Amino acid sequence: MSALDSIIAGVREDLEQRRIPMGQLLEGVELAPKVRTCLPSLLTQEISVIAEIKRSSPSKGSLAPISDPAGLAATYEQAGASVISVLTEQRRFGGSLADLDVVRKAVQIPILRKDFMISEYQFYEARAHGADVVLLIVAALGQNQLDDYFQLSKELGMSALIEVHTHDELERALEISPEIIGVNSRNLKTLEVITQAFAELIPQIPSGIARVAESGISKREDVIFAHECGATAILVGEALVRADSPSVAINQLLGRL
């Protein structure tokens, strides 16, 4: 079993434990705050930042306790982040939907629910908890699932970040006409980071699509490399949550300090 398969198995188990009646969930969707649009901020000439709230990861273990996710999100926003990514997977990443709730109330910028979306239920759940964007990992989904979940995201008003790791996955992603594609340099099956994936895949993404470089970004030189490859945004978690000052870390990545 690959690392991705193991994570998804745990996601399925946890989902069944927290599932509530669909009628109750739909009531939550109706009461959810209005969706915030993220696409314009991810297509600016200057590279933008998706700043992530992440306590741990399968590859690195514990990263930071993050007792105040709302405060961290507010710091990210004040430092110039365009989107806040909130890990809601519990077993491997230490996240929760409660994190999503408090972060949504703390900031005015869009919120990405970062999780392994393998059930329609999770999309309604994401919107009910205030998510503006969801993650669709091509490696975890069949093509029909990918298309169906993308359409469902749009029906619920949310954007979708379509994550790819290989040429084949990129081809599959382009078939659904996405607005945002993320190239993850970490292979979720082996957890190995190969930043050359940015150079190989990002230039193949059409210019009208927001192009996000994910994983392996910890210093200014990494941002410059991603931008030169064509990235319009970077998604950064570990380097920010481990920093003494997340605000300073963001400004250093963006070359402001």
pLDDT tens digit string along 183-219? 999 877 778 888 899 999 999 999 999 999 999 999 9
State mean pLDDT over 87-116.
Answer: 97
State mean pLDDT over 55-59.
Answer: 93
* Cβ neighbours around 16 below 10 Å, total: 10
Q: Is the model's pLDDT at 16 over the cut of 80?
A: yes
Q: Domain coordinates of the chain in residue numbers?
A: 3-29+39-253
State mean pLDDT over 154-162.
Answer: 98
User: What's the predicted TM-score (pTM) here?
Assistant: 0.96
pLDDT for the residue numbered 29? 98
pLDDT for the residue numbered 189? 74
Residue 64 CA to residue 101 CA, distance in Å, equals: 20
Residue 36 CA to residue 209 CA, distance in Å, equals: 18
Residue 197 CA to residue 244 CA, distance in Å, equals: 29
Q: For residue 64, name the pLDDT band (cuts at 50, 70, 90).
A: very high
CATH hierarchy code of domain 3-29+39-253: 3.20.20.70
State mean pLDDT over 85-92.
Answer: 97
Kindly list the catalytic residues: 52, 54, 114, 163, 184, 214-215
Give the helix/strand (H/E) hosting 161. Answer: strand 159-164
